[in-house]
Structure 1
Amino acid sequence: MLIPRIITAVVLLAILAVLISLSNPVYFAIFISLASALTLFEWLRISLNGAKKQLTAAMIAIMTFVIFLALYFLMMPGEGEDNILVALSKPTVFQANPWSTVVFSLLIMLQFFVSFVWIFIVPMVLYQAKTQVSYNSVFHSILAVFAAFTTWFAILIIYVFLGAWFLLSFLSIIWCADNFAYFGGKYFGGEKLAPAISPGKTRSGAICGLISVAIWMTVSAFIENSFSALLVKHIGLLGAVAVGVLMGVVSIFGDLYESLLKRRAGVKDSSQLLPGHGGFWDRLDSVVAVSPIAMCFVFLLYIQ
């Protein structure tokens, strides 16, 4: 199990390194569109009901992938004045092509709505911890579609607009929360965080993960063009650390939420598409939860 896990991780990192090194962002856009669509497929095959849920999930995921590519070329058609990203760098934010502006505005509003769901609604679902429910409500399937769009939009816009390093500095919040929670939990042990949902997670691990996030936000605040540096510029270091910790907490929510749905569905992994890792949703559950929140802060602070 360990060798396939390492090989898969190395291959994915190599692909990502090549894509972010290319000058044309279209290849990265295709990769993110594919990853988001596959995550949606895995989520829907767990949350949907009916004998044909696999086929339904696949059809929705394929249509979503096509929509992602169409939206990419709609919002970023070229290097001229009709480019929504060029328009965003000027005081007249919404003077780009009208259609791309409408789409962009709708996607921004969706970021705020989905962020609200992750911060306020999902914790209530986790608190109830109804793992024995034999069906999944429409809510979870609708959230799957919304979450796929917000993840795709946030990752793509942050990368194209602010660069690969800014994107990695934001994703590092999730990696810190996840990895240090794992090792901290193994070392300190103690009370379980959510025993009914994920018996392997401990409160000590979660605390270690959040402490590591606070440290990362403090350190990266002094690195130019990082996510933390942007926050510090507008809300100070304490504000940046607070935002980082909030995102670390939400990343835990994302992980637990997927575990809850998998328990309800009686499956161990979201799929077997990534040998040694399970599926795309297994690897991106925290990214899916945190990305819209990061995009909200980027949007609010950048246009000031």
Structure 2
Amino acid sequence: MLAWRLGISAILIPLLFLLFRVDLRAGEEALILWAFCLLVLIRSTFELKTLLTRRNMQPTWLVPTLLAGLTVTSGWMPHWFNFAAPWNESLVWISMASSLSILLFFLNRAILFREPGQQMETLGAELLMFTYLGVLIAVTTQLRWVAGASMGYLAIGSLIFAAKGGDIGAYFLGRYFGKAKLIPRLSPGKTRVGGYGALLGGGLASVLWFHFATGQFMPGQDPPALWATLLYGVIIAIVGLVGDLAESLIKRDCEQKDSAALMPAFGGLLDLIDSVIYAGPVALLLWYILPLQTW
């Protein structure tokens, strides 16, 4: 199990950062990142739809995926077209796309209604697919521009390193030293010691990322203050841990161990991205309020 995790990570992480490097060189429009996010969204909504169907709900795949894809795309609009204020702000577009999508979900179910039963459950399942994946991914992708076009992947990398550093810290400390369970009914594998490992791993990964990566993106630029990068990593690790538990809630309630059997030792794509997309909006907020941008 551990060997599989390390081996797959050794392949996926370099490929991901190669994609980021190519997209950075391609320009501020970030077309490669946009296409990548849509592919992730398409697969993730399929996995979530399959999980929810096991609870006798009947959500469609097409409508939530289409509206989620349009919401993610709306975040790119100000970077593709020159709009006057306030339409030059990506979060404005995302909020409007999210609101209009909710209206369309209700309209769709009203049109399909024939007799009482199942419509509210199905509507709730589709709204969950849309918000959990579409809205969270849409907001998370705004890290691409929060620190400026040339430093966008410093911000995205900080989220990935801190969240996954927290995952790794929780896994190793929990595996070898953990005994007391954190929330046994929801996630039997997580321990209290593993929770401390998440804080340690997330904080350390964040400090190392900012220390070594800042100068790579902007030569000669000093990294942010140590306290800010450490605080950032610890917060992201905490939120990422909650994100992992949130996905566990969905899986346990649907009586499944993994979201899918896509990758050995990891499960499905949802199992891989759960902590990242859950912590993404918090990471964006922290980039606004912490002194992480020193240029």
Structure 2 length-normalised TM = 0.70
CA RMSD of aligned residues (A): 3.8
Q: Give yes or no for the alignment of 1:208 onto 2:224.
A: no
| Residue in structure 1 matching 2:61, options 52, 57, 63 | 57
CA distance in 1, matches of 2:75, 2:157: 21
SS where residue 242 of structure 1 aligns? Answer: helix
CA distance in 2, matches of 1:110, 1:293: 20
Identity %: 24
CA distance in 1, matches of 2:289, 2:95: 10
CA distance in 1, matches of 2:96, 2:203: 28
Cα displacement (A) at 1:148: 2.2
- The answer on whether the counterparts of 2:259 and 2:268 sit within 8 Å (CA) in structure 1 is yes
Cα displacement (A) at 1:204: 0.8
CA distance in 2, matches of 1:223, 1:184: 25
Aligned twin of 1:147: 132
- The answer on whether the counterparts of 2:57 and 2:121 sit within 8 Å (CA) in structure 1 is no
CA distance in 1, matches of 2:97, 2:281: 8
Amino acid across the alignment from 1:97: A
Amino acid across the alignment from 1:153: A
Amino acid across the alignment from 2:143: I
Cα displacement (A) at 1:195: 0.7
Q: Give yes or no for the alignment of 1:157 onto 2:157.
A: no
Deviates more, 1:136-145 or 1:209-218: 136-145
CA distance in 1, matches of 2:231, 2:282: 13
Cα displacement (A) at 1:59: 3.6
| Residue in structure 2 matching 1:43, options 41, 48, 69 | 48
Structure 1 length-normalised TM = 0.69
- Any stretches of 5+ residues in structure 1 without a counterpart? 83-95, 112-134
Q: Give yes or no for the alignment of 1:74 onto 2:77.
A: yes
Cα displacement (A) at 1:212: 2.4
Q: Deviations over 1:50-86 (max 9, x none)?
A: 4533xx03442144225534x25522216xxx2xxxx
Q: Deviations over 1:212-237 (max 9, x none)?
A: 223334444544639xxx9x85xx54
Cα displacement (A) at 1:147: 3.3
Cα displacement (A) at 1:5: 6.1
Deviates more, 1:9-18 or 1:284-293: 9-18
| Residue in structure 2 matching 1:97, options 76, 79, 84 | 84
Cα displacement (A) at 1:156: 2.8
**Residues 35 and 77 of structure 1: is their aligned pair in 2 closer, same or farther, counting only changes over 3 Å?**
same
Aligned twin of 1:260: 249
Q: Give yes or no for the alignment of 1:30 onto 2:35.
A: yes
**Residues 276 and 100 of structure 1: is their aligned pair in 2 closer, same or farther, counting only changes over 3 Å?**
farther
**Residues 181 and 269 of structure 1: is their aligned pair in 2 closer, same or farther, counting only changes over 3 Å?**
same
- The answer on whether the counterparts of 1:42 and 1:271 sit within 8 Å (CA) in structure 2 is yes
Cα displacement (A) at 1:138: 6.7
CA distance in 2, matches of 1:107, 1:185: 38
CA distance in 2, matches of 1:241, 1:6: 25
Cα displacement (A) at 1:18: 3.5
The structure whose RCO (Cα within 8 Å, separation 6+) is larger is 1
CA distance in 1, matches of 2:260, 2:12: 17
Cα displacement (A) at 1:187: 1.5
Cα displacement (A) at 1:263: 1.1
- The answer on whether the counterparts of 1:38 and 1:61 sit within 8 Å (CA) in structure 2 is no
